[in-house]
Chain A
Amino acid sequence: MIDRVALFVTCLADTLFPNAGKATVTVLERLGIEVVFPPDQTCCGQMHGNSGYPAEATALARRFVDVFGGFDAIVTPSGSCAAQVREHFGDLLGGNDRGVPGRTWELSQFLTGVLGLEDVGSTFEGTVAYHPTCHSLRLLRVGDAPLRLLRAVPGVDLRELPDAEECCGFGGTFAVKNADVSTAMLDEKIAAITASGAENVCACDSSCLMHIGGGLRRRGVPVRPIHLAEILAS
């Protein structure tokens, strides 16, 4: 039984969405798990890797392994950052990854897969549409882990999101390099969210929520973007 984890908060949550990080701490500590935050952590290098800068991505991967190599479990509130570590570090580091990829978990995978939990003692009031982010779904294969966690929260009224598995159009630098196509994809996602009738749209990645949330606010759609950890911390 794992009773101590290192939190990789991600550079985005650290800097722009600290509540996702705080909520992750709340959930883990409520379950009696000691949370350690190694302060030397910075970024997993996903943005560099995906944008065509493998040298920078490799340097950041090496740093990540140095910072987190001593921990039995590393937990992060991001499907795409967990996927960067689990799916790409092996190649970037030529295998010199100290086993870190296999010990790094996205929050919902850690709770359901490692701890074997679905009910984590949360309560929440409201209608929720769940958007499975692309990397959590197709790279990390979290499957329905986030949905099982959400279904176990008393007060969560899950609404079906039409075409849920379609990308929201974020894609890192894609959102600015191909801004018009990205926006067209976002418009379809927002139409689906509106059609779901939910008051909250929930996901396992702050980056996708930043995109969806930024689109919702610009269009005056009164739906609140909320990280899975924030619902589970309630």
Chain B
Amino acid sequence: MTHSSLDPAAARDARPESFPHAATGALANHQVRANIRHATTSIRRKRAGVVAEVPDWELLRAAGAAIKDETLASLDAVLIELEASIQAAGGTVHWARDAAEANEIVVGLVRAEGAEEVVKVKSLATDEIRLNEALEGAGIRPIETDLAELIVQLAGERPSHLLVPAIHKNRVEIRDLFRERLGRPDLSDDPTELAEAARLHLREAFLRARVAISGANFAAADTGTICVVESEGNGRMCTTLPDVLITVMGIEKAIPRFRDLEVFLQLLPRSSTGERMNPYTSLWTGVCEGDGPHAFHLVLLDAGRTRVLADPAGRPALRCIRCSACINVCPVYRQTGGHAYHSPYAGPIGAILAPQLLGEEGAVASLPFASSLCGACYDVCPVLIDIPSILVHERGKAVARERSGIEGRSLKVLGKAFATRAGYERAQRLGRKLQRPLARDGWIAHFPPGPLGAWGRSRDLPALPAQTFREWWESRDEPA
């Protein structure tokens, strides 16, 4: 097998658009925007309710952040301990530097089993490495078993939300999709009936499958226990029914101790689905004779994570437990949905994590600018990631890499002018002079192309008044 056939970059959109361009397209889809507005409004209300009833929520957040920081500070040792614990429990650990290596390992394991299809638990890590495309390229059929992931897969789309991948679809659209793809022309848009149709489809797959692939929410290094948190029970089917279970996990999902789950299993469901407790929490430690899979493989994925780890200002992003609370409160995501982010990690966390993992180049370099820095994300983050500060930090990296455009030149000129009183006052006078051909009756009437034009497409702008504050102040000082 050649390396390149598993390279996700080959299958990736030839040239993803920058966020502002992709967003413009997304804004035109009013149905999707309405679905997203409806869904995020309802989830954030639920979250606020269940968070408010926990008296020590702020302490829990601090504890979650502290455990993650402790882990990240000694990640090398934690991962080696995790590997030893899993090996002792009869599992096998594989180390993958990047997406291509991880995909090659997984495809190799599935082939060794002679399986032609696999069932999958909802997993962001496998979305990130585009494992499904690599599997299909190797003639293996991946079947997503999370209801929303299944919907997205049947539609040939990409997830648009960490937790609610099909948030962009309403039930009429899902009914039409199931009618066509599941061969059920009789279906109504009743949610119970739709779920029943998916259940019948999936049960057959569960009973047939010999290999399952999952992600992981947490992995305790001291015991080697993997934890998957879900709502439907389909993940539980995957982790228990097949003969072989393969888990693909970002290295930052490790936690030092099993008992640390106490903190995260309180933080995660309340932050993500707005539930006090999620319906299914699956925990397994290696393999167990006569119970569940007879082989367990853990693929530890770097894919840029050590790059983030090496950057102290950006490192807190690796605390993320993928709850999506930041996404549900984000006013930018609320308008655009997830597809404009070109990454499984949408919204505020995606706007930092995607460029951090992939490098601040090309379309992802536009993501840190896809925020008004309103700060709503930081307020809800269960592990206290100061996303606005990391956005600014990532902007700095993107600016440093790119040749400065009109914005860069203007800001540098302004920076120099503002360094002295004389330069600043000169800039004020120059502004008044330059606006003369553009202003009428106290307002800018003609917007030249560039930043002013972008402003003027939807907003008016007052003209600079004849007297600055400081000129008024000086005139006031003069004896009457």
Contacts and interface: CB of A to CB of B under 8 A. Distances in A.
Question: Secondary structure at chain B's binding surface: helix, strand, loop or mixed?
Answer: helix
Interface stretch (B86-94, B342-350, B394-402): B394-402
A158 to B, nearest CB: 23
Contacts of B24: 180
Interface residues on A, range: 35 or more
Contacts of A17: 462
A31 to B, nearest CB: 18
A123 interface: no
Contact of B458 (A60, A135, A139, A215): A215
A96 interface: no
A54 interface: yes
Interface stretch (A105-113, A143-151, A181-189, A194-202): A181-189
A15 B468 contact: yes
A181 B375 contact: no
B459 A181 contact: no
B459 A215 contact: yes
A218 B460 contact: yes
A181 B335 contact: yes
Do most interface residues of chain A lie in helix, strand or loop, or is the interface mixed?
helix
Contacts of A47: 411, 414
A185 B419 contact: no
Contacts, number: 182
Given A53-B415, A59-B415, A183-B458, A138 B379 contact: yes
Interface stretch (A68-76, A114-122, A164-172): A164-172
Nearest to B370: A178
Interface in B434-460: 443, 451-452, 454-455, 457-460
A60 B468 CA distance: 20
A210 interface: yes
B464 interface: yes
A9 B472 CA distance: 12
A14 interface: yes
A37 B473 contact: yes
A214 interface: yes
A13 B473 CA distance: 13
B421 A52 contact: no
Nearest to B412: A56
B9 interface: no
A54 B396 contact: yes
Contact of B465 (A16, A39, A134, A184): A16
A214 B460 contact: yes
B339 to A, nearest CB: 14
A22 interface: yes
B332 interface: yes
Nearest to B452: A176
A171 B332 CA distance: 11
B80 interface: no
Contacts of B412: 53, 56
Interface in B351-386: 368-376, 378-379
Interface of A: 9, 11, 13-18, 21-22, 37, 39-40, 42-43, 45, 47-54, 56, 59-60, 63, 134-135, 137-139, 165-167, 169-186, 210-211, 213-215, 217-218
24 contacts: A14-B470, A15-B464, A16-B464, A18-B468, A22-B469, A37-B470, A47-B411, A48-B415, A51-B395, A63-B418, A134-B375, A167-B331, A169-B331, A172-B372, A174-B372, A175-B454, A175-B459, A177-B369, A180-B27, A181-B20, A213-B460, A215-B459, A215-B460, A217-B443
Given A181-B332, A185-B335, 20 more contacts: A9-B469, A9-B470, A14-B470, A18-B468, A18-B469, A42-B420, A43-B418, A51-B395, A52-B395, A60-B418, A134-B375, A169-B372, A174-B372, A178-B19, A178-B20, A178-B369, A179-B457, A180-B24, A184-B335, A213-B462
- The 6 A-B pairs of least Cβ separation, nearest first, read A171-B372, A52-B395, A56-B415, A214-B459, A138-B375, A167-B374
